Amino acid sequence: MIFQQFNLVKRHTVRDNVLSGALGRTGTLRSLLLLFPEADRAEAQACLERVGMGDRGDSRADALSGGQQQRVAIARALMQRPKLILADEPVASLDPALRNSVMRHVEALNREEGITVICSLHDLDLMKRYATRAVALREGKLVAEGKPDAFDLPTLRSIYGEEAEFGFEAAT
């Protein structure tokens, strides 16, 4: 799972935060003492390399920017060896430049590693750029589904209401 808030332990190192993804296969005492096997440490380093954070393993999590913290959260999710990742608004707390950077990493999980990603996004530009399939809900009911290009202006108005305004060309 990749959360909207990064959910890192700020006082821990980046590496220890990534290693927390291995807690499900680590004994209680070893995990409490942060005594992870060398194989897990090497896997954590590989996960950090995968998201471009390989040189930051010894940094404290609270010393990182928001985009870096989210990439550590992605590495932590990779440490779980998932077949499916749920991403709940993974870029909502980031500025626009960092949003695309993080979404490229999420996209790569799907395209390069074959991990299914279900991602909740409220940013229509990001949905149109990164999604291969979109599902829209309004008041808990399915309103639209299909390829992102199918989300034209009438479809978007059925989702967001007639008074909604959209600031991008693709919706016209």
Taking only the tens place, the pLDDT of each residue in 74-112 is 999 999 999 999 999 999 888 888 899 889 999 999 999
Residue 47 lies inside a defined structural domain of this protein: no
Count how many domains the chain has: 1
Mean pLDDT value across the chain: 89
Summarize pLDDT for 26-61 with one digit per residue, the tens: 888 887 788 899 999 999 999 999 999 999 999 999
Q: Is the pLDDT of residue 157 over 50?
A: yes
pLDDT value, residue 172: 43
**Does residue 27 sit in helix, strand or coil?**
coil
Across 12-21, 83-92, 106-115, 147-156, least confident range:
147-156
Residue 55 lies inside a defined structural domain of this protein: no
Residue 154 lies inside a defined structural domain of this protein: yes
Domain that holds residue 148: 124-172
Residue 67 lies inside a defined structural domain of this protein: no
Copy the structure tokens of residue 95: 């500025």
CA distance 156 to 148: 11
Q: What's the predicted TM-score (pTM) here?
A: 0.84
Longest dimension (CA), the chain: 58
66-79 and 38-50 helices, crossing angle to 10°: 130
Alpha-carbon radius of gyration of the chain: 18
